Structure 1
Amino acid sequence: MSIDVGNGPRFPMGKPVITPGAQAALDATGMSGMLLLARHIRGDWGDLGVEDMTANELALLTGARLLSSFDLPDGKSKVWIITEADRSVTTILLPDEY
């Protein structure tokens, strides 16, 4: 499923935060958390299945929580980015930290 993400943000992200585990995983792979945040707020949901992408598109209309998942370059790690339903906080975390 390809979504036209355009150039600008599709929703407010609120305060960005990152867990220590996610920061360590990003540092270890040389991946930029800011780049992933930018993709997330533009509606690039990363490595999600069609069902989860569709849920995010609906969440944009209904004000529900948003989730992106990004596989990291090491081929074994991933991070999630979750924006709360009230759009007050967006958190980068490891899936096992959820």
Structure 2
Amino acid sequence: MMQPLFHIGEVVATRGVFAHLEHHHIAAFSYLRRHACGDWGMVPPEDAAANRFAVEHGARILSSYDIAGKRVWIITEADRCMTTLLFPDEY
């Protein structure tokens, strides 16, 4: 099993994402683990490169996953104090 590359801090989700996950009986843990272990999901190559740089230099990290038919972003702040799950249109 892969080891996390960075600390995700406090985890929060928008009401929309929380309701979506709850409606589909999906736990966010597996997606948060993928995010923290460097599986950025469906991000373009330039965003994956930016994430690798961010892990080493303390910038914001963005992952994108299709969860039960909806795109969900997971963003960890540069200071690693918080990770947020949100829909792209909530950004």
- With normalisation by structure 1, the TM-score equals 0.85
Within 5 A, what are the aligned runs for 1:44-63? 44-63=39-58
CA contact (8 A) 1:29 1:72 kept: no
The answer for unaligned runs of 5 or more in structure 1 is: 1-5
Q: Which residue of 1 aligns with 2:75?
A: 82
Are the counterparts in 2 of residues 40 and 81 from structure 1 also a CA contact under 8 Å?
A: yes
Size of the alignment, in residue pairs?
A: 91
Identity of aligned pairs, percent? Answer: 47
Deviation at 1:25, TM superposition (A): 1.9
What code does the residue aligned with 1:22 have? V
Q: Report whether the alignment pairs 1:96 with 2:71.
A: no
RMSD, aligned CA: 1.3
Q: What is the match of residue 27 of structure 1?
A: 22
* Runs (5+) with no aligned partner, structure 2: none
SS at match of 1:7: coil
Detail structure 1 runs of 4+ shifted over 4 Å in the superposition.
none
Q: TM-score, normalising length from structure 2?
A: 0.91
What is the alpha-carbon distance in structure 2 between the residues aligned to residue 16 and residue 45 of structure 1? 17
